[in-house]
Amino acid sequence: MNRNFLKLLLLAALGMYSLSSNAQKFKGLAKTPPMGWNSWNTFGTNISEKLVKDIADLFVSQGLKEAGYTYIVMDDGWMAKERDAKGNLVADPQKFPSGIKALADYVHSKGLKLGIYNCAGDKTCGGYPGSRGHEYQDALLYASWGIDFLKYDWCNTPKINAESAYITMRDALHAAGRPVVFSICEWGENKPWTWGKEIGHLWRISGDITNCWDCELNHGSWSSWGIMKIVDMHANERLRQFSTPDAWNDLDMMEVGNGMTVYEDKSHFALWCIHDSPLIMGNDLRIAKKETIEILSNKELIAVNQDSLGLEGFRFHSENGLEIWAKPLANENWAVLFLNRGNGPKAINFDWKLIERIEDAMKELDAHFINHTYKIRDLFAHQEIGTTEVPLKKDLKEHDVLMLKLTKIK
């Protein structure tokens, strides 16, 4: 009996007694929403070692690493169709000829982190080997490779209890000993926001996103959702209360740069920022347009998402297709988003005395707000545009957004 097998037996034993032991998620890995890139939206299972290396290089050359993006996540399709004779997962030798350990070393050499994918069922969504019954074995393998992030999906899971399945993998990761950000990708079917805080660092609230503004693509047994459909799901479920540093509502990987208008891309990114959603890019960075990179690397918007207060934003006004969202920031500052979600242009004419409505909403969060005058900064234009002493007037194009930071004047 070799040492690795003995270690696996020990880890399995730890798992059997995890509820009465110190098994837990690795805390403090996601004090702000994770930022990175995932292969699925653009590439599906058609991924490779070269693609991942190219993305790592572009993180550096395009300024994305400097902007805060850290994780490069290989989604479904990285592994061979069968486990080896010892039951271990094997990287597809055609797609990843150097193996995952060498790829992780390359990504780490760039000052970045590598993520990987698997599933709580017998098979992944793409038909590759899932982790059911192999959780501790897989976690030990990931640790030996130097994996930093695990996206854990929910395909092929009949009669499995979701919370229990994710606890098992959480405990396996903890037993393996390498800190890993754990992404719960359960699609919101079992309300993971009610139990995910002590299990993972982020949890999906919906099925897969798709690159449209406000649509549903019905695939029969499941649907893909447009940007505003996911935003509305979030608001209707009142999920803001569950989001907190190290445990985030995940609105899914972004579709910025994947075929929508530049105004829709701006609005999409701004909404993810104000929701404190993880900022996981889903486009092909090798062919990204200049305006796409400018949106994704906008440090002023990213700062809203990464604000240390960690309080998620909320919609406090909606009328005739014009919405106003607000997010409290550290030092009693605010982010405010005006969104034209309707068809055709909209005119903003907003009296800042209505800020009192934001104050009333904030009382629900037991936070501090004092009605002072604020200076206003346009985070897309990168310029000061006045103060809250004067009503705000601006025209918005269809599906465009105005994202502001309000800084209290001392």
| CB neighbours of residue 205 within 10 Å | 23
Catalytic residue among 76, 153, 252, 265: 153
Instruction: Report residue 256 as tokens.
Output: 């910025």
C-beta separation of 174 from 25 below 8 A: yes
208 counts as catalytic: yes
Listed in sequence order, the residues at least 6 apart from 107 whose beta carbon sits closer than 8 Å to its beta carbon are 52, 53, 56, 72, 113, 114
* Active-site choice (148, 208, 265, 284): 208
| Dist. CA 152–CA 182, nearest whole Å | 7
User: Cβ distance 227 to 271 under 8 Å?
Assistant: yes
In angstroms, the CA 341 to CA 323 distance is 7
Catalytic (active site) residue 400: no
Q: How many angstroms separate the CA atoms of 344 and 396, rounded? A: 9
Question: Count of CB atoms within 10 A of residue 370's CB?
Answer: 7
54: left (phi over 0), alpha (psi -120 to 50) or beta: alpha
Residues 89 and 8: their CA atoms lie apart, in Å, by 14
SS (H, E, C) 266-313: HHHHHHHHHCCCCEEECCCHHHCCHHHHHHHCCHHHHHHHCCCCCCCC
The C-alpha atoms of residue 192 and residue 189 are separated, in whole angstroms, by 8
Active site positions, annotated: 153, 208
